[in-house]
Each structure stands twice: as C-alpha cells, then as structure tokens.
C-alpha cells in the first residue's frame, strides 16, 4: 500500500521526539486520540482494515514500541507513529474527481470480486484516499476522493447542505404533480421527509421523463427512493455536480485532480456557514 513521503517538516517541528529520554506529554483534555487503525487511515497510510493488518503484522510502532492493537488510543499530534521504520505524519492533501461508470462499486473490497472505484484511481497516488459519500452500483457520475478527512467528513455531514445535482430518468412519464411533490419534499419509507429540492425537466414523453434534481442531503439511495415515493422507477441516474465541482466532460472511468479554485471552494463549504465547523 502506498505511503506518504517522509515529512521533514514534521521532524523539524518535533525534534525532541527523536531524542533518547523523550517522554510523551500528558494527553490534552478533550478527545484528541482515536484508535490506531483509524489514525493511520486519517494520515492517509491505508484503509482502516489494511491498517489493522499492518498492525497485526508488527509493521507499526507507536513511541518506539510495536503496536498490536488496532484500537490502541493514539494521538497523532503527540504520539510518534512509524510504519515500516518511517514516520507516518500525514501525506500531502489529495483531491480528485472521478467519473464513476455504472456497474462499479463504491467500496474498497468486494468479496464477490466485482470492479470497485479503487481500481480506477491513478497508480501514482502516494496516499490512501476515500470517497466523499458514495454512489450506488448502477449510478454513474461525479464521485470525489480525498485524504483530507476534515473536508471529506464535513461534506458528508447531513447538515452540510452541500447541493448535489443528478440527471434522473424515470419510467413512465412523470406528472407535473409528482415533479412538484419531489420539489416540496416526499416521505421516504422510514418517515423521513426530504428537504425542498429543485427540479428541472430536460425531456418528457409517454414512456419516460428525464429531469435534473438538486438535493442538499444524502440519504442512502435517496434519489431512487424519492422517485419510488411518487410511484416511479429510476432507469438511469447520473450525478453531475457536488457543490462547486462539475462532472463536465470528464471521461467515464477516469479521474482528474481538482483545481485550486475548486479546492478553495470545498474548504469554504467544509467550514460551514460563518466558519462553524
């Protein structure tokens, strides 16, 4: 599994950690520590389950001692974590847009061996990245990846209100009443009522309707369940925008790095209204 490069900057900021006799300062109040496997995945070393395997294989040292427990409480700002003898101090942030094809799963490992989004990531990434939210197997379109857990977690927070735009094809033709119901909010099966959405019809004929749907939440299979709530089956679903990032003409099955302007805009969104988060 690729690892981030050795970060000299971190060593310069924390030179005492490398000296004999260094004792770890007391933990700060508040929860600054997490399980070691989770910390390794947040540092971009590997997925949580791969990190657990690395720990089990004795490849991870915390403050000079071989770690055995993936849940060992670890504070990345205090503890010295080494993987295969190199300090794990956080890789360079990575932000990618992928055009996920239909039929590819948003998971790291599929027990049945079906293709996953990880097989489509560039080979030269030097960090573990995770998808920002997920798309169902049959859904295509824009999927973001990052190793910046602050931005990723904030964007998937149900309260973030980040707009996501989908092109939806349903059968049969959808009535104006049903489209209006999608805009106003529909009740999904467990009693959850969707927030107001935006609907823009692209084309309609007796057999089907194509429309653009903008939602600001991300319940599991939300678009398909919204359509079902008004009696329609989704036959095609494609995500074309997440916040400031557009799918554009990115070729199916490929990735591109986000632009500096897109990254800045995502960070502003991640801070929340008035910089709350």
User: Judged by CB under 6 A, does residue 232 bind ligand URA?
Assistant: no
Neighbour count for residue 133 (Cβ, 10 Å)? 16
Which among 27-35, 45-53, 131-139, 263-271 is the span making contact with ligand URA, rule CB under 6 A? 131-139
Nearer to ligand URA, 135 or 270 (CB): 135
SS (HEC) of 196-235: CCEEEEEEEECCEEEEEEEECCCCCCHHHHHHHHCCCEEE
81, 88 in Cβ contact below 8 A? yes
129, 94 in Cβ contact below 8 A? yes
Which residue in 33, 224, 232, 238 binds ligand URA (CB under 6 A)? 224
CB of 23 to ligand URA, least distance (A): 50
Cα distances from 108 to residues 123, 242, 251, in angstroms, run 15, 21, 22
User: Judged by CB under 6 A, does residue 216 bind ligand URA?
Assistant: no
- Catalytic, 69? Answer no
Query: Residue 161, SS3?
Result: coil
Which residue in 7, 216, 221, 236 binds ligand URA (CB under 6 A)? 221
x/- mask, ligand URA, residues 173-212, rule CB under 6 A, reads ----------------------------------------
Give the active site residue among 136, 153, 157, 189: 136
Q: Which residues of 10-25 are buried (b: 16+ CB within 10 A; e: fewer)?
A: eeeeeeebeeeeeeee
Q: Measuring CA to CA, which residue among 75, 3, 64, 4 is closest to residue 35? A: 75
Q: How far is CA 40 from the centre of its chain?
A: 16
Nearer to ligand URA, 154 or 242 (CB): 242
User: Judged by CB under 6 A, does residue 170 bind ligand URA?
Assistant: no
| CA-atom Rg of the chain in angstroms | 22
Which residue in 136, 153, 157, 217 binds ligand URA (CB under 6 A)? 136
CB of 106 to ligand URA, least distance (A): 8
User: Judged by CB under 6 A, does residue 99 bind ligand URA?
Assistant: no
Query: Which residues sit at the interface with ligand URA, rule CB under 6 A?
Result: 135-136, 139, 221-224, 237
By annotation, the residues acting in catalysis are 136
């Amino acid at each position: 599994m690729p690892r981030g490069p050795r970060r000299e900057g971190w060593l310069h900021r924390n030179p005492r950690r490398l000296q004999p006799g260094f004792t770890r300062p007391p933990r700060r109040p508040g929860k600054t520590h997490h399980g070691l496997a989770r910390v390794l995945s947040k540092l971009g070393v590997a997925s949580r389950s791969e990190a657990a395997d690395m720990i089990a294989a004795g490849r991870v040292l915390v403050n000079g001692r071989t770690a055995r427990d993936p849940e060992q409480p670890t504070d990345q700002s205090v503890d010295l974590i080494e993987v295969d003898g190199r300090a794990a101090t956080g890789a360079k942030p990575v932000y990618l847009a992928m055009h996920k094809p239909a039929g590819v799963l948003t998971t790291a490992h599929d027990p049945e061996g079906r293709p996953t989004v990880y097989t489509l990531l560039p080979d030269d990434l030097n960090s573990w990245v995770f998808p920002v939210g997920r798309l169902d197997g049959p859904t295509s379109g824009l999927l973001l990846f990052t190793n910046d857990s602050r931005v990723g977690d904030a964007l998937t927070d149900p309260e973030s209100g980040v707009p996501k735009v989908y092109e939806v094809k349903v059968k049969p033709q959808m009535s104006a009443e049903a489209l209006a119901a999608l805009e106003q909010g529909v009740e999904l099966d467990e009693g959850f009522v969707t927030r107001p959405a935006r609907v823009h019809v692209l084309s309609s004929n007796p057999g089907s309707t194509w429309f653009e749907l903008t939602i600001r939440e991300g319940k599991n299979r939300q678009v398909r369940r919204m359509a079902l709530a008004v009696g329609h089956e989704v036959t095609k679903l494609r995500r074309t925008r997440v916040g400031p990032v557009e799918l554009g003409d990115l070729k199916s099955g490929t990735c591109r790095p986000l632009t500096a302007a897109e990254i800045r805009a995502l960070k502003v969104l991640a801070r929340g209204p008035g910089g709350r988060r």
